[in-house]
Amino acid sequence: METGKNRHIDSQILSKSNFDHLSTDEKIDTFVQSYHVPQKSNKAEVFQRLQAKLEHQQNEKPVRNLRVYWSAAASIALVALLTTIYFYQSKPSQIVAGRGSHLDYTLPDGSVVNINADSKISFSESRFTKKRILKLEGEAFFSVQKGKPFEVETSQGKVEVLGTTFNVYSRNQDLIVTCLTGKVQVSAKSQTIMIVAGEKAELISGTLQKTSNLVDEKVAGWRSGEFHFESAPLISIFEEIERQFNVTITTTGLENRFFTGDFTNKNLTETLETVCLPMELDYEITNGNQIGIKPKKK
């Protein structure tokens, strides 16, 4: 106990005599050992402050979470209403008609677009007033106000008009433009043709062709729920029915068959009868929206 670096000396009884007997190292040790760090607040107080700050941070988070819920709810609502309302009410740039519904939309220039089921138009509102350009996926009927050139872009080609009414069908590999009034210029695969009222431009296996069969109002009859097909592939008829009634149709053995006729989008079974009866097909509806089609057994 007399010597040794780490011996502890009770500071309270450090007397003159034993202090004088300590070596420098021992004095240093004794003093340093006796030191303690001053504290402004005790540990519990600091922890309380820390806890308060953490809670403050956590209180902010639920707000953020709430916002996530709101936006999730909003998106769900949007998806549900996509068929009837516009994306971004203040600045519509994408207008979608879902499966089983049609949508009429008036563009900023006053031109009217009737959008068929499962189709979408998109455009930039700010730029549209300067240049009338919009994109189309699916089928739509346009009644264009006279004025600057009006362009419809599709994945297969482009339709340019001045002021007219015309129908654009752009699905899968198909592009069919039907002109009802005025003049329409169609470009696709670096080919350009001009069609006038009563004419039809069609992209058939990569070639743009003009067919001048008399087109009547029936082409755009879909706008009032009447569908007219002339020698159309049977499969595309059922695709149209899928879109109009929002159902899923599975077909077997319908390749290379064609259909000419009409149907309406008012009643599903009636429509199925209309197509299946003359084509000698059997249909079966399961779960309300699953339809199986196959040729009648002979």
Partner 1 sequence: MRIGSDKNQAETGLDQAGFEQLFDAYYDELQHFIFYKSGDAEVAEDIIQDAFLKLWEVRSTVRIETARALLYTIAANLFSNRFKRMKLKLKLQSTIVQDRTFETPEFEMEIKEFDQKLQRVISGLNENCRTVFLMNRMDNMTYNEIADNLSLSVKAVEKRMKKALEHIRKEIDQKF
Q: Provide the binding-site residues for partner 1, judged by CB under 8 A.
A: 11-12, 14-16, 19, 24-25, 27-41, 43, 46-47, 49-50, 53-54, 57
Calculate the CA 160 to chain-centre distance: 26
CB 29 within 8 A of CB 54: no
290 contact partners, CB below 8 Å, separation of at least 6: 247, 248, 250
In this complex, which beta carbon is closest to partner 1, that of residue 36 or of residue 64? Answer: 36
Q: How far apart are CA 233 and CA 173, in angstroms?
A: 13
N-terminal to C-terminal alpha carbon distance within the chain = 115
In this complex, which beta carbon is closest to partner 1, that of residue 34 or of residue 65? Answer: 34
In this complex, which beta carbon is closest to partner 1, that of residue 19 or of residue 70? Answer: 19
In this complex, which beta carbon is closest to partner 1, that of residue 41 or of residue 84? Answer: 41
Question: Within the chain, what is the greatest distance between any pair of CA atoms?
Answer: 127
- Name the minimum Å distance from CB 1 to partner 1: 18
- Name the minimum Å distance from CB 69 to partner 1: 22
In this complex, which beta carbon is closest to partner 1, that of residue 14 or of residue 276? Answer: 14
For 272, list phi and psi in degrees, rounded to 5. -60, -40
- Name the minimum Å distance from CB 102 to partner 1: 50
- Name the minimum Å distance from CB 123 to partner 1: 44
In this complex, which beta carbon is closest to partner 1, that of residue 37 or of residue 214? Answer: 37
* Residue whose entry in the numeric block shows the structure tokens 């009643």: 267
Specify the DSSP class assigned to residue 237.
Answer: H
Q: How far apart are CA 123 and CA 132, in angstroms?
A: 9
- Name the minimum Å distance from CB 56 to partner 1: 10
- Name the minimum Å distance from CB 33 to partner 1: 7
Q: How far apart are CA 281 and CA 294, in angstroms?
A: 6
Q: Report the run of H or E that residue 45 belongs to, with start and end.
A: helix 43-81
